[in-house]
Structure 1
């Protein structure tokens, strides 16, 4: 009889942002677990704020009653209202009761799928704390991948809910070294384990490496960024480098969540929007430099709490990796080019100075999960 894990996660399973919990879901599957992957709910109110392609995909999953990918079943619940950092929606009432207004009823749906009793109950979203009181589980885990209090979208109510979950679960894993100190509201520090991000090497080794159609008219050398384009993405830094490196083409992949009008003025910057995760390796394999242009100065709390997954993915595809430096990743200086200012970043992109090969075999998601489960 296979083991079961119920994962309550912020990002929907088919999101172009494949974050740690997505990779852990697939690692659980490889270890023989049945996985039920629930993501944050949608509501009619969402369309008022953003009727995006991402929302349409979440609605599609909901209307289909969930979908399966191998041993992983994923689902997006729909409620009359959902917790958000907006008036009324940030209240304790909404946070604690949204599941009671889901159709079909979420808890009944979980039971019907056979997941009312599980081996592992996994969280990375503060919206699902009620599962601790309604699901029978052997072990519970909260994964903290960012300092959530630094995000405008996270209300104080949600942050307190995350702390509440942290104080109830058996184990808290965190991805950046400083998160243990930042979450000083977690009472039992002994149950906190530092587990930085990893890599799915099999995925990248098996991936298509042919030149994507979007790059056919964009000559090398190509400098690529893949990921969130949010407040901490340093538009000015990218603009400066692209303007002064006119022989390089800059590829930006990810949903636009920040004004990029400045970048659109330059012909050697190509903003491609969201690309399905399965197709990302082809873009990386056909680029020469992977960049991490984060604004540490203006967003120190956020950036210093990031263990960038893209760093490992760039390395897996053989790219020269250029990043601004912050505490969490400065021990990667043998493998990554670090820049202290705009000119330094520009010089690192052009640099031919050798870097050591990072042994990604030691940081696979499967290996991390196997070690974690042994220690539970």
Structure 2
């Protein structure tokens, strides 16, 4: 990350997640840029697929947030960072809707930039959609950077039909392409020689600091505690965790994060505890009072390209880590307990619980420091 540090600039970030959503690479990088005396306009999601019935709660929440803000779509979220919740037509695949969206979004961004005091920005795109590309071009950016964090075309939830071609065009057009995993690097470098693998960032000192008081919510939960944090959705092998919790009733499985899938089978178990979303600045306290941190992912085409931002946060804590499912985990095989398959995961968790290996923990800290800016 340090190699790409930018100072005293204005950045317009076209994000695929809202600022207040789970803390990921998007917020981590932009907050670091803000601390380096840059001003950041963080443009919240403009959509990568058609809305579905399952999106209704998210859409209602965004409308409520806008109502509470009395129609003001621009808000300061931290020093030097402003988040913009734009108004766009979700039916982006229709020609006239796209043209109107580009015009409307450009106006909203120009007005926002006037408020934050910026011109000739750097465009930082997480969303490789035609709307993001066209709007970014209208801002006459000094530099266009595509930060690719997922193989979006393989997203099991689907994307707009034009998405794959739009992403290919952005990769060709961008001044620089960053990728979050080696597989994404291999996919995009043939089309753009200025493509680089940049692992997720981490606030190392915050996550490595062990002097955190035990949160009250954890005090009620016995040990050993096996903790998963982050988005609880179809990428996580919840069936595997349900089987493990049933087979090991003394192990306490703790889940920290927003639930976006069916967890009824797990919730029925007395040793499964769902504590909800934990603010990122409070998360280290929960992790330091865990016995093992869990990274169990389902093997799919989509998941084979991802590298969760939480990897380095886990490593920074020095806690044992039990992991499954992602090729990128092989990079950390000396400092994680890796299961070769689902049947092996219970054994891996047991080995992690039994760990007394200080050398491995020190190595984990070193690995985490790689991502420190």
TM-score scaled to structure 1, two decimals?
0.84
1:303 CA drift (Å): 1.5
Structure 2: where are the runs of 5+ without partners? 1-6
Q: In structure 1, how many angstroms separate the alpha carbons of the residues matched to 2:304 and 2:62?
A: 30
In the other structure, the counterpart of 1:50 is 56
Q: In structure 2, how many angstroms separate the alpha carbons of the residues matched to 1:39 and 1:6?
A: 11
The alpha-carbon distance between structure 1 residues 188 and 153, as it changes in their structure 2 partners (threshold 3 A), is closer
Name the SS for the 1:105 alignment partner. helix
Most deviating of 128-137 and 146-155: 128-137
The alpha-carbon distance between structure 1 residues 305 and 96, as it changes in their structure 2 partners (threshold 3 A), is farther
Q: Which one of the candidate residues 162, 168, 180 is aligned to 2:173? A: 168
Name the SS for the 2:178 alignment partner. strand
Q: In structure 2, how many angstroms separate the alpha carbons of the residues matched to 1:170 and 1:135?
A: 15
Name the SS for the 2:13 alignment partner. strand
Name the SS for the 2:231 alignment partner. coil
1:251 corresponds to 2:254: yes
Q: Which one of the candidate residues 199, 220, 240 is aligned to 1:196? A: 199
Q: Which one of the candidate residues 278, 284, 288 is aligned to 1:285? A: 288
Query: How big is the alpha-carbon RMSD for the aligned residues of Structure 1 and Structure 2?
Result: 2.8
In the other structure, the counterpart of 1:13 is 19
1:188 CA drift (Å): 3.1
Check the 8 A contact 1:96/1:130 in 2, yes or no.
no
In the other structure, the counterpart of 2:4 is none
Check the 8 A contact 1:311/1:321 in 2, yes or no.
no
- How many residue pairs match? The answer is 351
1:216 CA drift (Å): 2.1
The alpha-carbon distance between structure 1 residues 54 and 199, as it changes in their structure 2 partners (threshold 3 A), is farther
Structure 1: where are the runs of 5+ without partners? 83-87, 367-376
Check the 8 A contact 1:149/1:156 in 2, yes or no.
no
In the other structure, the counterpart of 1:2 is 8
Most deviating of 310-319 and 198-207: 198-207
Q: In structure 1, how many angstroms separate the alpha carbons of the residues matched to 2:324 and 2:368?
A: 25
Q: Deviations over 1:311-331 (max 9, x none)?
A: 211121222100114322212
1:287 CA drift (Å): 0.7
The alpha-carbon distance between structure 1 residues 203 and 162, as it changes in their structure 2 partners (threshold 3 A), is farther
In the other structure, the counterpart of 2:142 is 138
TM-score scaled to structure 2, two decimals?
0.84
1:235 CA drift (Å): 1.4
In the other structure, the counterpart of 2:371 is 364
1:40 corresponds to 2:40: no
Name the SS for the 2:141 alignment partner. strand
Q: In structure 2, how many angstroms separate the alpha carbons of the residues matched to 1:148 and 1:92?
A: 22
Check the 8 A contact 2:43/2:86 in 1, yes or no.
yes
1:178 corresponds to 2:172: no
Check the 8 A contact 2:43/2:83 in 1, yes or no.
yes
1:69 corresponds to 2:74: no
